[in-house]
Each structure stands twice: as C-alpha cells, then as structure tokens.
Amino acid sequence: MSTKQSKLIGLADIEGKVSPHAAQVRGALKMRAAALSYVEDVGALAACLGGKIESPGLGEDWSVSKEVFPGVVILFAFNKADEEFPARVRAFYSGEKVKAIKGDELATITISCANQLLRYVRESNPGTRLPEVCYKV
C-alpha cells in the first residue's frame, strides 16, 4: 500500500495528544537525525530496512517506509540540515490496522527500525568518523 493512498498519522493521533510515546520517539529520532545526513543511496537504505522509497509529499528530502506488520506501515521522512534548521527525521504511521497496535509497541518498533537505519549509515561509510550514536547500535 502506497503512503500516498493512505492517511499518515503520528503517535499522538493514535494515543491522544498527551502521548508519552510520541515524545519518546521524537527524542530518539532527534538524536539520530544528523547521522542520516550521511545517507547517499536511499534505495540501498530502504533495502537494508526491508522497506521501500516513498514520496508522500511532506517536503522531505527522502523518505522510506516499512510494513512492520500486515496492515501497519512506518514511514521515516528525512530533511537535511540547512542554514536555518538542523537535520530532522520524523516517523509517521499508516495502514488499516495501525490503531490496533499499542503506542508503546509502535514506539519500540520505530526506534528499532531507526537503529537499523543507523547500522546502514555505519556500514556504508567505512573510514568516516560518524556521529557517536552510530556506534551505539
């Protein structure tokens, strides 16, 4: 299922506006964002994740999605740093069964997938000094 054909939602939409898991995911992704600036081949990144390249039209520089369960898709949308803003990665969810998954489970799966993105960065940039977070996964 293409993310263009389905509605993208955040953890706050699933758990409610006061979602501790949404804050947990935001914090984890913020720590990992600068490392994703080292991605040169988004297709290879998507393959490493077991996902695919997407283009949901969120003003992102690149995005990849992964179906983590039947009917549950996580989309990572990345924006490169510029003069005004640091690099940023956001996670969105879609699929007909996404609201059946608990927020803490989605948060755990999201962070695990983000760690896989960092493993790709580490493995695809040998000899490059990367942000410290790349060496902790």
Element (H, E) at 53: strand 52-54
pTM score: 0.90
If phi over 0 gives left and psi between -120 and 50 gives alpha, with beta otherwise, what is residue 23?
alpha
- pLDDT tens-digit profile of 37-95? 999 999 999 999 999 999 888 889 999 999 999 999 999 999 999 999 999 999 999 99
Q: Is 24 exposed, middle or buried (0-12, 13-18, 19+ CB in 10 A)?
A: middle
Domain range annotation of the chain: 11-135
Residue 1 is predicted with a pLDDT of: 46
Ordered alpha helix ranges (H), the chain: 11-15, 20-33, 42-49, 103-124
What letter does residue 135 receive in the DSSP assignment? G
The helix-helix angle for 20-33 and 103-124 (nearest 10°) equals 10
Residue 39 is predicted with a pLDDT of: 97
- pLDDT tens-digit profile of 101-132? 888 999 999 999 999 999 999 999 999 999 99
CA separation for the pair 74, 114 (Å, rounded)? 10
CA separation for the pair 75, 110 (Å, rounded)? 9
Residue 97 is predicted with a pLDDT of: 93
CA quadruple 20, 120, 59, 83: dihedral positive or negative? positive
- Angle, alpha carbons 22-90-81 (nearest 5°): 135
